[in-house]
């Protein structure tokens, strides 16, 4: 389900998987328009703790969101929970310029200040953090995390479980592989293969 401050639908009850810093940030986003049901995490926390991740038992009354920035860990948790057939919410701040018609997955988190233009595709369990920009004809595949202030130009493809660091710039027409780490502030000017880390201006393998 898409949950957005402009919706007229009744509020959803949403549990957050992951109680770290990002989980606490996403809680504040959830609580603007929905009911926060509690955290699932492998470490017991405060009174809002619902139990560890392996013990999640899906119910019709609760939707879920995986609020974990590390793409590989996020993917592993989603795969661990696959057989449980959870219902995942899409959480979208009202302070954005995005269109749900371009969402191709579930469990998407769109934070304040995100601007996306046209004909983009956002996969499942993607995080677009604060003030990210997405150009035309961009594809962001499942489990990616794009950190605050990153700028993605048009005709870019970002492979599964890739992390784009804060303030990074991806130039027009670039293809980034799966399981890639793009360092904070890097400028990516050419294609990047799978499974490497790149940093710098222009971005080069670490």
Active site (catalytic) residues: 136
Q: How far apart are CA 29 and CA 68, in angstroms?
A: 15
Handedness of CA 104, 108, 110, 114 (dihedral sign): negative
Instruction: Say if residue 202 is preceded by a cis peptide, omega within 30 of 0.
Output: yes
Q: How far apart are CA 201 and CA 133, in angstroms?
A: 19
* Other CB atoms within 10 Å distance of the CB of residue 28: 9
Residues in the chain: 206
Cβ-based burial of 54 (10 A; exposed 0-12, middle 13-18, buried ≥19):
exposed
């Amino acid at each position: 389900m898409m949950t957005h401050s402009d919706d007229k639908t009744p509020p959803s009850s949403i549990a957050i998987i992951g109680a770290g810093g990002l989980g606490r940030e996403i809680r504040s986003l959830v609580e603007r328009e929905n009911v926060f049901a509690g955290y699932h995490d492998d470490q017991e926390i405060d009174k809002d703790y619902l139990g560890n991740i392996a013990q999640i038992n899906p119910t019709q009354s609760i939707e879920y969101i995986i609020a974990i920035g590390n793409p590989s860990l996020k993917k592993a948790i989603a795969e661990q929970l696959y057989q449980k057939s959870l219902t995942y919410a899409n959480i979208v701040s009202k302070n954005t310029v995005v269109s749900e018609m371009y969402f191709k997955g579930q469990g998407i988190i769109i934070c304040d200040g995100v601007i996306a233009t046209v004909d983009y595709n956002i996969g499942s369990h993607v995080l677009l953090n604060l003030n990210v920009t997405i150009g035309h004809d961009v594809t962001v595949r499942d489990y990616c995390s794009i950190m605050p202030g990153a700028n993605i130009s048009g005709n870019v493809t970002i492979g599964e479980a890739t992390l784009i660091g804060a303030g990074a710039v991806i130039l027009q027409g670039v293809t980034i592989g799966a399981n890639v780490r793009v360092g904070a502030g890097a400028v990516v000017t050419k294609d990047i293969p799978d499974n490497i880390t790149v940093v710098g201006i222009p971005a080069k393998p670490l």
